[in-house]
Structure 1
Amino acid sequence: MTEHAEAADRAAVADLTGRVALVAGATRGAGRAMAVELGRAGALVYVTGRTTRERVSEVGRATETIEQTAELVTAAGGTGIAVPTDHLEPAQVKALTERIDREQGRLDVLVNSLWGGDRLIEFDTKWWDADLDKGLRMFRLGIDSHVITSHYALPLLIRRPGALLVEITDGTAAFNRTYRDNLCFDLTKNAPHRIAFGLAKEVKEYGGTVVSLTPGFLRSEEMLDHFGVTEETWRDAVAQEPHFAIAESPALIARALAALAADPAKERWSGRSLSSGELAKAYDFTDTDGSRPDAFGYFEEVVFGGKDGTAADYR
Structure 2
Amino acid sequence: MTHTTAHDAASARPRTAPLRGRIALVAGATRGAGRAIAVELGRAGATVYATGRTTREKVSELGRPGETIEETAELVDAAARDAGSGGSGTAVPTDHLEPDRVRDLLARVEREHGRLDVLVNDMWGGNPLLDFDTRLWDIDLDRGLRILDLGVRSHVITSSIALPLLVRHPGALLVEVTDGTARSNDEYRGNFYYDLAKNAPIRMARILGEELAPVGSTAVAVTPGFLRSEEMLDHFGVTEETWRENTEAQPHWSVSESPTYLARGLAALVADPEHHRWNGTSLDSADLARAYGVTDLDGSRPDVWGYMLAEKEGGAPEVADYR
Fold shared by both chains (TM-score > 0.5): yes
**How many correspondences in the alignment?**
314
The TM-score normalised by the length of structure 1 is 0.96
CA distance in structure 2 between the aligned counterparts of 1:122 and 1:160, rounded to whole angstroms? 43
Tell me the CA shift for residue 234 of structure 1: 1.9
Q: 1:5 to 1:294 in 2, by over 3 A?
A: farther
Tell me if the contact between 1:6 and 1:290 (Cα under 8 Å) persists in the aligned partners: no
Is the counterpart of residue 309 in structure 1 residue 317 in structure 2? yes
**1:130 alignment partner, one of 139, 152, 156:** 139
Which AA in structure 2 matches 1:71? Answer: E
| Correspondence for 1:53 | 56
| Correspondence for 2:33 | 30
Per-residue Cα deviation, 1:214-264 (whole angstroms, up to 9, x for no partner) = 000100001111222221222112133121111010011101110010000
**1:244 alignment partner, one of 253, 260, 270:** 253
Tell me if the contact between 1:13 and 1:255 (Cα under 8 Å) persists in the aligned partners: no
CA distance in structure 2 between the aligned counterparts of 1:102 and 1:5, rounded to whole angstroms? 36
SS of 2:119's partner is strand
SS of 1:177's partner is coil
Tell me if the contact between 2:8 and 2:297 (Cα under 8 Å) persists in the aligned partners: yes
Tell me if the contact between 1:21 and 1:43 (Cα under 8 Å) persists in the aligned partners: yes
1:61-210 alignment to 2 at 5 Å?
61-77=64-80, 78-210=87-219
Tell me the CA shift for residue 50 of structure 1: 0.4
CA distance in structure 2 between the aligned counterparts of 1:84 and 1:19, rounded to whole angstroms? 21
Q: For structure 1, which runs of at least 5 residues remain unmatched after alignment?
A: none
Per-residue Cα deviation, 1:27-70 (whole angstroms, up to 9, x for no partner) = 00000000000010011100000000010001110100000000
SS of 2:202's partner is helix
Which AA in structure 2 matches 1:307? Answer: G
Which AA in structure 2 matches 1:312? Answer: A
Tell me the CA shift for residue 192 of structure 1: 0.5
CA distance in structure 2 between the aligned counterparts of 1:79 and 1:29, rounded to whole angstroms? 19
Tell me if the contact between 1:125 and 1:182 (Cα under 8 Å) persists in the aligned partners: yes
CA distance in structure 1 between the aligned counterparts of 2:189 and 2:16, rounded to whole angstroms? 34
The TM-score normalised by the length of structure 2 is 0.93
Which AA in structure 1 matches 2:102? Answer: V
Tell me if the contact between 1:167 and 1:193 (Cα under 8 Å) persists in the aligned partners: yes
CA distance in structure 2 between the aligned counterparts of 1:71 and 1:126, rounded to whole angstroms? 43
Which AA in structure 1 matches 2:250? Answer: E
CA distance in structure 2 between the aligned counterparts of 1:12 and 1:86, rounded to whole angstroms? 36
Q: 1:161 to 1:49 in 2, by over 3 A?
A: same
SS of 2:25's partner is strand
| Correspondence for 2:224 | 215
Deviation above 3 Å: which 4+ runs of structure 1?
4-14
Which AA in structure 1 matches 2:156? Answer: V
CA distance in structure 2 between the aligned counterparts of 1:286 and 1:166, rounded to whole angstroms? 20
CA distance in structure 2 between the aligned counterparts of 1:30 and 1:12, rounded to whole angstroms? 24
SS of 2:261's partner is helix
CA distance in structure 2 between the aligned counterparts of 1:310 and 1:125, rounded to whole angstroms? 32
Tell me if the contact between 1:13 and 1:40 (Cα under 8 Å) persists in the aligned partners: no
Tell me if the contact between 1:108 and 1:162 (Cα under 8 Å) persists in the aligned partners: yes
CA distance in structure 2 between the aligned counterparts of 1:290 and 1:11, rounded to whole angstroms? 16
Tell me the CA shift for residue 178 of structure 1: 1.3
CA distance in structure 1 between the aligned counterparts of 2:264 and 2:174, rounded to whole angstroms? 16
CA distance in structure 1 between the aligned counterparts of 2:69 and 2:137, rounded to whole angstroms? 37
Q: 1:105 to 1:5 in 2, by over 3 A?
A: closer
1:224-263 alignment to 2 at 5 Å?
224-263=233-272
**1:288 alignment partner, one of 281, 297, 314:** 297
Which AA in structure 2 matches 1:67? Answer: E
CA distance in structure 2 between the aligned counterparts of 1:296 and 1:242, rounded to whole angstroms? 13
Tell me if the contact between 1:245 and 1:312 (Cα under 8 Å) persists in the aligned partners: no
